[in-house]
Amino acid sequence: MRVLVLNGPNLGRLGRRQPEVYGTATHAELAERCVGWGVDLGLEVEVRQTNHEGLMLDWLGTAADDRTPVVLNAAAWTHYSYALFDACAMLEAPLVEVHLSDPLQRPEEFRHHSVVTPHAALVVSGQGVEGYRVALAHLANG
């Protein structure tokens, strides 16, 4: 089974951006781990990151058309993008929402709302990079 792992804005700066919140693994290391975990789970994993919302929407539209399961860390878009809400609503295969930190434990009130959650089969928060392994295992186990 093919799975897309899609990461939103600023996640390309992992390892450098607030490591006390997001950890020290870089995005390249995260991608490498996801591909490896996928192999162990019998999944073909492709990891992508963008700072451009329209590109993310295009990727989700293609995933909807192809019925491809998605692991999504939409980062800041999680909290306000109604275009993202609509794109997630179109998905036919399972969607797992992932957050490196736990948004509900963050001090900023805006982080406490997700437009992705209503469409997610599972939400994994606060487990750092390991949360992606949990998400992939969930998809592999159907």
The count of C-alpha atoms lying within 13 angstroms of the C-alpha of 64, restricted to the half-sphere facing its C-beta, is 14
- In 10 A of CB 138, how many CB atoms? 17
The arithmetic mean of pLDDT across residues 90-113, rounded, is 83
Q: Which residues are catalytic?
A: 22, 99
Overall number of domains in the chain: 1
Query: Which pLDDT score is estimated for 110?
Result: 66
pTM: 0.92
Q: Is the pLDDT of residue 109 over 90?
A: no
Q: Is the pLDDT of residue 108 over 90?
A: no
Per-residue model confidence as pLDDT tens digits over 35-86:
999 999 999 999 999 999 999 999 999 999 999 999 999 999 998 899 999 9
- CATH number of the domain to which 34 belongs: 3.40.50.9100
Expressed as residue numbers, the domain containing 102 is: 2-140
Q: What CA–CA distance (Å, rounded) separates 100 from 22? A: 6
Annotated binding site for substrate: 73, 79, 86, 100-101, 111
**From the CB of residue 116, how many other CB atoms can be counted at a distance below 10 Å?**
23
Q: In this predicted structure, what is the pLDDT of residue 142?
A: 85
According to the model, what pLDDT value does residue 21 have? Answer: 64
